[in-house]
Chain A
Amino acid sequence: MPSRLIKKVAETITKKPSAIKEENKKEVSNVRKLKILITVVDRSKTMFYEDLLESFEINVQMVLYGHGTASSQMRALLGVAEGDKSVIISFIREDKVKETLEVLSEKFKKVRNGKGIAYTIPLDSIIGVAMYQLLSNDRTIKEGGKK
C-alpha cells in the first residue's frame, strides 16, 4: 500500500504542469456555464411565460412584481395596456440561451399583450454541486466537474 502511494506521489511530482492543466481543463469542460435570464413581461402573462421557460429545462424561476415607467402616452403608442409588470428571474444553461431567446422574441411579437424584454447576465460562480445540478438540469455532473 505505501509503495503504491509513493508511486502515485512520484507520478504527480514528475508530471509536467501543462499536463496537469490539461487534465483539469478536461474535467471542468464537462461543466456547462449558467446564466441569469431576466424576463420582464406584463403581469397578466406571467404564467404563460413561466410555462414557456420551463420547457427550456429551466427548473428555478423567481417572479418579482414591479411596474413599468413608460408614460401613459408611450404606453398607448406601444399598445401596452397596463403598467404592472412581472420580472421573472431564472437560471439557464448557456447552450439553451440562443434557442430560448429566439422563441421569447417570437412570442413578444405575436402574443397579444405579450410584449416584453428578456436578457441574460453572465454568472461566475455558484455554491454546491446539488444546486448546480438543479439549476442546469444536469444530474450527471459530480464534484470536480466529472461526469
Chain B
Amino acid sequence: MKKAYKCVLAIVNTGFSEVAMESAKSAGATGGTILTARGTASKEAEKFFNISIQPEKEIVMILCKTDLVDGILNNLYKAIGSSTQAQGIAFALPVDEVCGLEEKIKEENQQK
C-alpha cells in the first residue's frame, strides 16, 4: 500500500540548511525543521576518497506528501549534493500515521 506521506532527511554541512530548505520549497515542500548534529567518518576513507568531512552538520527534516518526494530529492541532489560545498546526503523514510499537519486538517474538515 502506498503511504500518503514521507519524511525527507537531508544531512548537510553547517550553513547550508537554508539552501536545502529553499530547494525543497521550490519542489513543493511547505516547511521543515533544522537540527544541529556532528558527523563522523573514518580517517582512511577520507584519505582514500580525497575528501574532508566537516564535523558540524545540520539535518533538515521535511514531512511531505509522497508524490512530492521525487521532486524534492531531485532538487536537493542538485543544490546540496556531494559535488557541492554542502556535501549533503538526502533520503526519504516511510511514514505510517500523521497528525497535526495543516493540509491534513483541512482535508479532514472538507470530508466532514
- A residues with a Cβ closer than 8 A to B are 35, 38, 40, 64-70, 74, 78, 85, 87, 97-98, 101-102, 104-105, 108-109, 115-122
Which residues of chain B from 57 to 112 have any CB-CB distance to chain A below 8 Å in the complex? 59-61, 63, 93-102, 105
Contact B98 A87 (CB under 8 A): no
Residues of B contacting A66 in the complex (Cβ-Cβ under 8 angstroms): 33-36, 59, 61
Establish whether residues A105 and B96, one from each chain, have CB atoms under 8 Å apart when the complex forms: no
Which of the residues B17, B21, B63 comes within 8 Å of A117, measured between beta carbons?
B63
CB contact under 8 A between A104 and B7, given known A74-B31, A87-B33, A121-B93: no
Q: Which residue of B lies closest to A109 (CB)?
A: B105
Name B residues whose Cβ lies closer than 8 Å to a Cβ of A.
5, 7, 17, 21, 31-36, 59-61, 63, 93-102, 105
Known A108-B99, A109-B105, A119-B98; 18 more pairs at CB < 8 Å: A40-B61, A66-B34, A66-B35, A66-B36, A66-B59, A69-B60, A70-B31, A74-B31, A87-B61, A98-B97, A105-B99, A117-B63, A117-B99, A118-B100, A119-B63, A119-B96, A121-B95, A121-B96
For the complex, give the distance between the alpha carbons of A65 and B95 in Å: 21
List residues of chain A with CB within 8 A of the CB of B95. Answer: 119-121
Within 8 Å by CB of B102, from A38, A69, A78, lies A78
Whether A120 pairs with B97 at a CB distance below 8 angstroms is yes
Bound-complex Cα distance A68 to B102 (A): 15
CA of A134 to CA of B67, assembled, Å? 36
Ordered by A's residue number, 12 sampled pairs between the chains whose C-beta atoms are within 8 Å are: A40-B33, A65-B35, A69-B21, A69-B34, A98-B97, A102-B99, A105-B99, A117-B100, A118-B99, A119-B7, A121-B7, A121-B96
Once the chains bind, are A87 and B35 in contact (CB under 8 Å)?
Answer: yes
Q: Which residues of B contact A118 (CB under 8 A)?
A: 98-100
Complex CA gap A89/B97 in Å reads 15
Contact partner of A122 (CB less than 8 A), chosen from B17, B94, B105, is B94
